[in-house]
Chains A and B, each alone.
Chain A
Amino acid sequence: MQVEMLVLAGSAGALDSVGPLLRALPLPLPWPVLVVLHRGRHTVADSGLADLLSALSGRPVAEVDDRSGWPADTVLLAPQGYDTLVGRDGPVLVEPTSAGRSTPSLDEAFDSAADTFGAAAMIVGLSCASTDGLAGARRVLAQGGTVWTLHPADAPFPMLARELAALPDASAIHAEDLADRLAALGGSG
Chain B
Amino acid sequence: MAGRAEVQRAVDHITGTVLAETGYDFSEYQVPFLLRRLESVAGRHGLGDSVLGLAGAVHAGSPLVAEIIEALGLAVTGMFRDPGFWAALRRQLRERPPPQGPIRCWVAGCATGQEAYSLSILLQESGLEDHLVYATDISEPSLTAARTCCRTVADWGPAEESYRMSGGTGDLRSYFADAADPAETFGRRILFARHNLATDAVFNSFHLVLCRNVMIYFNNDLRLRAHQKLYRSLLPDGLLCLGSRESLWGTELATCYRREDSAERIYRKVL
Docked-complex contact A44 and B33, CB < 8 angstroms: no
- Residues from chain B with a CB closer than 8 A to the CB of A112 are 32, 35-36
Q: How far is the CA of A49 from the CA of B161 in the complex (A)?
A: 24
Q: How far is the CA of A111 from the CA of B244 in the complex (A)?
A: 24
Docked-complex contact A42 and B247, CB < 8 angstroms: no
Q: How far is the CA of A115 from the CA of B82 in the complex (A)?
A: 30
Helix, strand, loop or mixed for chain A's interface?
Answer: loop
Measured CB to CB, the nearest residue on chain B to A44 is B84
Shortest distance from the beta carbon of A137 to any chain B beta carbon, whole Å: 14
Asked if A63 is at the interface (CB within 8 A of a chain B CB), the reply is yes
Residue in contact with A81 in the complex, picked from B35, B82, B217, B220, CB distance below 8 Å: B82
Number of chain B interface residues as a range: 35 or more
Docked-complex contact A93 and B216, CB < 8 angstroms: yes
Q: Which of B27-78 contact A (CB under 8 A)?
A: 30-33, 35-36, 39, 49, 74, 76
- Residues from chain A with a CB closer than 8 A to the CB of B16 are none
Residues A93 and B245 in contact in the complex (CB < 8 Å), given A67-B250, A111-B36, A111-B39: yes
What would be 28 A-B contacts, judged by CB atoms less than 8 Å apart?
A43-B84, A43-B244, A45-B84, A45-B85, A45-B263, A64-B245, A65-B247, A65-B249, A66-B216, A66-B243, A66-B246, A66-B247, A67-B247, A79-B245, A82-B213, A85-B33, A93-B216, A94-B36, A95-B213, A96-B76, A111-B39, A112-B36, A115-B32, A115-B36, A115-B39, A116-B32, A119-B1, A143-B1
Apart from A42-B82, A111-B36, 11 more pairs, CB < 8 Å:
A42-B165, A44-B244, A64-B245, A67-B247, A79-B244, A85-B33, A92-B30, A94-B216, A115-B39, A139-B49, A143-B1
- Residues from chain B with a CB closer than 8 A to the CB of A144 are 1
Q: Which of A6-50 contact B (CB under 8 A)?
A: 42-46
| Count of A-B contacts judged by CB separation below 8 Å | 85
Asked if A86 is at the interface (CB within 8 A of a chain B CB), the reply is yes
Shortest distance from the beta carbon of B53 to any chain A beta carbon, whole Å: 14
Q: Which of A58-88 contact B (CB under 8 A)?
A: 63-67, 79, 81-82, 85-87
Which residue among B84, B216, B217, B245 has the maximum number of chain A CB atoms within 10 Å of its CB? B245
B residues sitting closer than 8 Å to A (CB atoms) are 1, 7, 30-33, 35-36, 39, 49, 74, 76, 81-85, 162, 165, 213, 215-217, 220, 223, 243-247, 249-250, 263-265
Q: How far is the CA of A94 from the CA of B263 in the complex (A)?
A: 20
Shortest distance from the beta carbon of A92 to any chain B beta carbon, whole Å: 4
Q: How far is the CA of A90 from the CA of B76 in the complex (A)?
A: 23
Asked if A132 is at the interface (CB within 8 A of a chain B CB), the reply is no
Q: How far is the CA of A115 from the CA of B90 in the complex (A)?
A: 42
Q: How far is the CA of A94 from the CA of B215 in the complex (A)?
A: 10
Measured CB to CB, the nearest residue on chain A to B49 is A139
Docked-complex contact A66 and B32, CB < 8 angstroms: no
Which residue among A63, A67, A79, A87 has the maximum number of chain B CB atoms within 10 Å of its CB? A67
- Residues from chain A with a CB closer than 8 A to the CB of B265 are 45
Q: How far is the CA of A85 from the CA of B216 in the complex (A)?
A: 12
Q: Which of A112-157 contact B (CB under 8 A)?
A: 112, 115-116, 118-119, 139, 143-144
Which residue among B35, B39, B220 has the maximum number of chain A CB atoms within 10 Å of its CB? B35
Q: How far is the CA of A79 from the CA of B33 in the complex (A)?
A: 17
Q: How far is the CA of A144 from the CA of B81 in the complex (A)?
A: 39
